[in-house]
């Protein structure tokens, strides 16, 4: 667990945001993050790591979160940014954008993983936090549903790659489509399988 700054409880009840990312591993599409400040007066049952939930359950929880949360925002880094500054730095940038997009600025941020982005408030990294901390679970759901919906739209724009199914991850079907059809504008050229496809 790493920390950045300290949480000051002397100013009243602090607003704590959960922060998570989706899409570091895919060969295509943006990396998407979300920040969520839950409302303690409007609890949401069933929050969990988005990867542990069915698509139907994620969608239902997404709709509940956007209605009940005190604040939520989505951040992203585009493919060209991933290629320019690498996936780690692009993820941290997308996290900063998610927190900056909140209509209620948090006093403290709980980040899934082992690294905190530079933020204007204190932050704490929690490994596997998306399965432990409700606010991070909510953020993982918002990020996952947001990115999945975008990849479905990109599937229509770039048919034949299966983006609606694999969401850009390097499945066998995706690798085969990459070899047969070539590289699209939404593929990450800094990732080795995409570089190999370009070289061919």
pLDDT in tens, 26-68: 999 999 999 999 999 999 999 999 999 999 999 999 999 999 9
Domains in the chain: boundaries:
2-199
Average pLDDT over residues 79-95: 98
Quickly state the pLDDT bin for 14 (edges 50, 70, 90). Answer: confident
> In this structure, what is the dihedral angle of CA atoms 138, 18, 152, 150, given to the nearest 10 degrees?
140
Please tell me the predicted confidence (pLDDT) of residue 3: 40
* pLDDT surpassing 70 at residue 12: no
pLDDT in tens, 90-106: 999 999 999 999 999 99
Ramachandran area for residue 148 (φ above 0: left; ψ -120 to 50: alpha; else beta): alpha
60's tokens: 């239902």
Long-range contacts of 55-63 (CB under 8 A, 24+ apart): 55/148, 58/141, 58/144, 58/145, 59/145, 61/138, 61/141, 62/141, 62/142, 62/145
Please tell me the predicted confidence (pLDDT) of residue 185: 98
pLDDT in tens, 133-189: 999 999 999 999 999 999 999 999 999 999 999 999 999 999 999 999 999 999 999
The yes/no answer on whether domain 2-199 falls in CATH 3.30.420.10 is: yes
């Amino acid at each position: 667990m790493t920390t950045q700054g300290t949480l000051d409880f002397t100013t009243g009840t602090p607003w704590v945001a959960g922060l998570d990312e989706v899409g570091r591993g895919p060969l295509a599409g943006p990396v998407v993050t979300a920040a969520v400040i839950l409302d303690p007066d409007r609890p949401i049952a069933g929050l969990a790591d988005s990867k542990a939930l069915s698509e139907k359950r994620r969608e239902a929880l997404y709709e509940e979160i956007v209605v009940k949360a005190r604040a939520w925002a989505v951040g992203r880094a585009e493919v060209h940014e991933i290629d320019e500054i690498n996936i780690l730095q692009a993820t941290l940038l997308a996290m900063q954008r998610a927190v900056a997009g909140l209509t209620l600025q948090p006093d403290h941020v709980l980040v899934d993983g082992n690294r905190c982005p530079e933020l204007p408030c204190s932050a704490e990294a929690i490994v596997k936090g998306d399965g432990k901390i409700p606010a991070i679970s909510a953020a993982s759901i918002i990020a996952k549903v947001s990115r999945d919906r975008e990849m479905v739209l990109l599937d229509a724009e770039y048919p034949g790659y299966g983006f609606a199914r694999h969401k850009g991850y390097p499945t066998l079907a995706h690798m085969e489509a990459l070899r047969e059809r070539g590289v699209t504008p939404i593929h990450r050229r800094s990732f080795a399988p995409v570089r190999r496809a370009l070289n061919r």
